[in-house]
Amino acid sequence: MAETTEDLEQAFEAKIAAEEKIEPKDWMPEAYRKNLVRQMSQHAHSEVIGMQPEGNWLTRAPTLKRKCILLAKIQDEGGHGLYLYSATETLGVSREELIDALHEGRAKYASIFNYPSLTWADIGAIGWLVDGAAIVNQISLQRTSYGPYARAMVRICKEESFHQRQGYEIMVELARGSDAQKAMAQDALNRWWWPSLMMFGPHDAESAHSAQSMLWKIKRQSNDDLRQKFVDQTVPQAEAIGLRIPDDALVWNEARGHYDFGEIDWDEFQRVIRGDGLCNRQRLRHHKQAHDDGAWVREAMAAYAAREENV
Ligand code: BYC
C-alpha cells in the first residue's frame, strides 16, 4: 500500500524523537530541507570567506614556522568548506547554485569575516576567539539531526581545536613579550571580542529560525546558551595571560554560576549582515575574482570527465 504524506511525516518525526539521523535518501519535509540548505551553505561560505582575513598575513608571518602553521590552518578552512558544500549537495542543490546565491547576496556568511585583520596579533585573536566561538557552536552541531552535517562536524571540530590552540599560543607569546607586543595583543582582543559574541546570532527571542530548528534538532542549543558558554570558557583564558576583556559590565554571577556581560551592539550586527561592514564588498569582490580565475580549471575537469565517459 502506498504511503501517504501523513505516514511519511510521522516516520520522520519518530526518527527525530528517537535521535536517529535523517539521511539524504530519507523522506523529509520541504521546509526542513530548505532550512538545512540555508544553514549548511552559509556555514560553508563562512569557512571559505573566513580564509581571507588570515590569508592577509601569510606573506608577513613573523617566522617560517608561523607561516607553515598559518598555511596549514587556512587550508583546513578550505577543506571544511568543501565537506560542507558536499554535505549540502546531498540535499539536491548544486555547488553552482550555492555559489551564485553567495555572489548575488542571497546567502549570508558569518558576520565576523567582514572585519579587517590589521596586525599579527589579529591572527592570534582569530584563532583564539573566532575558532573558539566556532567550536562551541560546532560541538553542539555534532548532534544535529541531519547525518551528513553531523558527520562533517566531527572532523571539523578536531581541526578547529588545533586552530584555537594555535591562536591562543600566539596570544600567550605576545602577552608575555615586550610592552608593545602586549599592547598589540590587547588591541586585537579589544577589536575581536564583540564581533566574536555576534557570531552566535541574535538573542533567542529575536532569532527567526531557532524555534523550528530546535524542534527538528537541526540546532541543539540556543544562540544565547552557546554565547554564554563561550564567555564562561574564554574569560579565564584572558585572565591567565593578563589581558582584559573590553566589557565594563563583565562580572561573575555566583547565583547563576555564569558571567554576566554587557549588551552587544545589535545595530552594528544588522549593518554588517546587511552588507555594510568594513570589508563586505572587498570579501565578495575577492571571492568572485578567485572564482572567475578558476573557471578554466572547472572547464578542463568537465572536458576530461566528458572524454572519459565517451571512451
Ligand atoms: N553572521 O534565526 P537566526 C569558522 C543570520 S567559520 C551572519 O538565529 P540561525 C572559521 C541568520 O543566517 C564557522 N548572519 O539564524 C573559518 C539569519 O539570516 P537568514 C561559522 C547571521 O541559522 C575561517 C538571521 O541572521 N559557523 O569557524 O537559526 C577562519 C537570523 O538568525 C549570524 C557557522 O556558520 C552571523 N553571526 O542561527 C576561522 C555555524 N547570526 O539565513 C574560523 C553554523 C545569524 O534567514 N550556523 N545570522 O538570511 C549556525 O549555527 C546558525 O546558522 C547560527 C544562526 C547560530 C549562526
- In contact, 168 and 237? CB cutoff 8 Å: yes
- The model's confidence at residue 58, banded by pLDDT at 50, 70 and 90, is very high
Residue 80 CB contacts under 8 Å (≥ 6 apart), including other chains: 44, 47, 152, 156, 159
Instruction: Dump pLDDT digits (tens) for 61-105.
Output: 999 999 999 999 999 999 999 999 999 999 999 999 999 999 999
**Helix, strand, coil shares of the chain as percentages rounded to 5?**
70, 5, 25
Predicted local confidence at residue 310, as pLDDT: 86
Which atom of ligand 1 approaches the CA of 131 most closely? 42
**Above 90 in pLDDT, residue 169?**
yes
**Helix orientation angle between 179-198 and 132-141, rounded to the nearest 10 degrees:** 30
Take residue 250 and report the three cell numbers written for it.
563583565
Rounded Cα gap, residues 69 and 80, in angstroms: 17
User: Per-residue pLDDT averaged across 187-210, rounded?
Assistant: 98
Which atom of ligand 1 approaches the CA of 126 most closely? 38
- The model's confidence at residue 1, banded by pLDDT at 50, 70 and 90, is low
Q: Whose CA is nearest to atom 49 of ligand 1?
A: 39
Element (H, E) at 169: helix 147-175
Q: Whose CA is nearest to atom 41 of ligand 1?
A: 38
286 Cα–ligand 1 center, Å: 21
Instruction: Dump pLDDT digits (tens) for 257-277.
Output: 999 999 999 999 999 999 999
Predicted local confidence at residue 226, as pLDDT: 98
> 240-243 long-range contacts, Cβ below 8 Å, gap at least 24?
241/171, 241/172, 241/175, 241/176, 241/185, 242/175, 242/182, 243/171, 243/175, 243/185, 243/186, 243/189
58 Cα–ligand 1 center, Å: 26
Mutate to test the pocket of ligand 1, among 170, 207, 284 (most ligand atoms within 8 A of CB): 207
Q: Whose CA is nearest to atom 23 of ligand 1?
A: 50
Rounded Cα gap, residues 75 and 69, in angstroms: 10
DSSP codes joined into one string, 122-149: HHHHIIIIIIHHHHHHHHHHTT-SBHHH
Positive or negative, the Cα torsion across 88, 94, 97, 99? positive
Provide the whole-model pTM: 0.97
Take residue 223 and report the three cell numbers written for it.
544562540
106 Cα–ligand 1 center, Å: 14
